[in-house]
Amino acid sequence: MGLSPSARELPITLELPVSLQREIGKVVTRHAMVELKLSRIVYILLGIDAVSGRISVREPRTTDRLDMIADLLKINKIKVQANLPAIRTDLDKCSLERDRLAHGIWIKDPLYPGKFFLRSLSGNWTPPGTREKSKRRIDPEAQEYNTEHAKDLVTLIEKTGQAVFDLGDEIDSALAALRNKSPRT
C-alpha cells in the first residue's frame, strides 16, 4: 500500500478518538499513583516525612525509586517476599510506554484511513527493509496505536501498581515487627 507511516512526513493530529483519550488519561493517572506510592515507600524507609522527601529525594525515574527501595531494604536488613526484579521489569515497560504516550506525536496517514500512528523519537529501531538499527531521532518510527493498546497498558500499570502497593504493605508490616522487637527503654 506504499511506504510505511514511518518513512514519510505526515500531518500531525490532535483529534484522537474519545475512547483513546480516555485510556491515555487512565495510563497517566494510574502511573502517577504508582510513582507516588514508590516515593512514599522511599520516604518511610528513610524515616522522613513527604515534604522532606520531596525536597531531598526529588523525583527520580520510576525504576530508580525501586532501586532505592531495594538498597534501603538491604541497608535496613529487611527481607521481603516481593519479586523486585519482576516489578522492576514491569515498571520499566510501564514508564517507557507512558513516556511514549506523553511525548510522542500523533499522526494520521491518508493511506491508512481511520488509523492513528504514534511517532517516537527516542531509542533505536530497525526500519522495514533494513538490517541495521537506526536512531529514531534520525529515522522516526510511527507505529499504529489504538484503544486496545492503551487498555493493555492500563492493565499492566494496574497489575504493577498492585505489586507496588503489596510491597508497601509488606514493608509496613516488617517495620512494625522491627519496632515491636526493639528493646524498650
What does the block give as the cell for 60?
Answer: 527520580
DSSP strand E in the chain: where?
105-108, 116-120, 124-125, 134-135, 141-144
Residue 154 confidence (pLDDT) above 80: yes
Mean pLDDT of 37-54: 94
82-94 average pLDDT score: 97
Read off the pLDDT of each residue in 41-46 and give the average, rounded to a whole number. 96
Largest CA distance in the chain: 79
Residue 164 CB neighbours (<10 A): 26
Instruction: Give the pLDDT of residue 11.
Output: 85
Q: What pLDDT score was predicted for residue 34?
A: 98
Residue 39 and residue 68 in contact, taking contact as beta carbons nearer than 8 Å: no
Kindly report, residue by residue over 161-172, the tens digit of the pLDDT. 999 999 999 999
pTM of the model: 0.87
Residue 121 confidence (pLDDT) above 90: no
- How far is residue 68 from each of residues 21, 74, 88, 166, measured CA to CA in Å? 33, 10, 11, 17
Give percent of the chain above pLDDT 90. Answer: 68
Cβ neighbours for 181, distance < 8 A, ≥ 6 positions apart:
none
Winning range, highest mean pLDDT, from 49-53, 69-73, 128-132: 69-73
Given a cut of 60, whether residue 51 has pLDDT beyond it is: yes
